[in-house]
Amino acid sequence: MGANLANEVAAENFCEATIGYKNIEHGKLLQSLFHTSYFRIAISSDCQTVELCGALKNVVAVGAGICDGLGYGGNTKAAIIRIGLKEMVTFAKEIFGGGHDATFLESCGVADLVTTCYGGRNRKVAEALAKTKKSIEELEAELLNGQKVQGPPTAIEVYKLLQSKGMVDRFPLFTTVYRICYEGLPPEDLLKHI
């Protein structure tokens, strides 16, 4: 997981990734296989948080894309990213009982979050959602050339889990992204609910 959009990796632009491991020898092996002068690989024993960051950042990117689609500026988008990071940390610690603070500062955490909120397909589709009011499925077909977004389906699973634990109100951004994508909440209401 990390700040490594495929086209930039292919162009050999400097980027990085974090590999979570349960067995350090496996982690070191994977690091040695993928680490290059332009692709820095870090390894982490906090593999659960590495994976959570990889999923949850896509939900935050939907919020960032909605901001872009509504024409909000950098301050608003930065606030969405900050709120999203805070919810990611809280989710990892309170729902899964773990998450080392340092993991969120690795490429799988804040770097991947920022990259995805500025350049990922979840942001792109959410921007179009806010502008056009078309469905996610229509926008995937029009904009992604066969790829799919991960933020909306992840938002469903996150919402179900939060609902089962009575914690929906503690995660306003995750909940609002879910409601915009699946319950018809207008994108213009994003800021009212966070």
How confident is the model over 75-84, as pLDDT tens digits?
999 999 999 9
Beta-carbon neighbour count of residue 165 at 10 Å? 11
Q: Give the angle subtended at the CA of 107 by the CAs of 171 and 71, to the nearest 5°.
A: 55
Q: In the prediction, which pLDDT does 98 show?
A: 77
**Buried b or exposed e, range 182-194, using 16+ CB within 10 angstroms:** eeebebeebeeeb
Question: Percentage of the chain with pLDDT > 90?
Answer: 88
- Average confidence (pLDDT) over 18-43: 95
What is the distance between the alpha carbons of residues 103 and 112, in angstroms, rounded to a whole number?
12
pLDDT at 7 over 90: no
Q: In the prediction, which pLDDT does 97 show?
A: 83
Q: Which residues touch 4 (CB under 8 Å, ≥6 apart)?
A: 15, 16, 17, 39, 107, 112, 115
pLDDT at 156 over 90: yes
Q: Of the listed 57, 86, 133, 134, which one is catalytic? A: 57
The answer to whether 57 is a known catalytic residue is yes
- Average confidence (pLDDT) over 15-26: 95
- Average confidence (pLDDT) over 155-175: 97
- Average confidence (pLDDT) over 121-141: 94
**pTM score, whole prediction:** 0.93
Strand, helix or coil for residue 1? coil
- Average confidence (pLDDT) over 147-164: 96
Q: In the prediction, which pLDDT does 34 show?
A: 94
